[in-house]
Amino acid sequence: MEKKKPRVYSDEFRRQAVQLAKDVGNVSKAAKQLGIPEASLYAWRAGQRGTKTVSQVGTLDPGSEAEENKRLRREVAELKKVNHILKAAAAIFTRDHLS
């Protein structure tokens, strides 16, 4: 069985694909229109935002690593707040349902 070669996309194509996803408002639709995997489009979009992919995290310089840690701590704090709100809402709805 012959091994498939990974497709290589130009930087310009990647930028245009991410822009299309923004314009369409849906990564899945944009990926389907372009005939590319959704995962690729999500990764390109994350790369443009400055989010590091798993393979890139090991190559961070110490200053960038500190900034990334700071950003992740803020994100974790925000997610904890959202989680707390959702738990409270679920408790309220459950209580109303049982009454």
What pLDDT is recorded for position 18?
92
What pLDDT is recorded for position 74?
93
CB-based burial of residue 36 (10 Å sphere; 0-12 exposed, 13-18 middle, 19+ buried)? middle
Q: Which CATH architecture has domain 8-51?
A: Orthogonal Bundle (1.10)
pLDDT in tens, 37-86: 999 999 999 887 754 554 554 555 667 888 889 999 999 999 999 999 88
Considering only CA atoms, which of 30, 29, 35, 32 is closest in space to residue 18?
30
Q: Helix H segments across 4-61?
A: 11-24, 27-34, 38-49, 54-57
- What is the pTM (predicted TM-score) of this model? 0.46
What pLDDT is recorded for position 90?
85
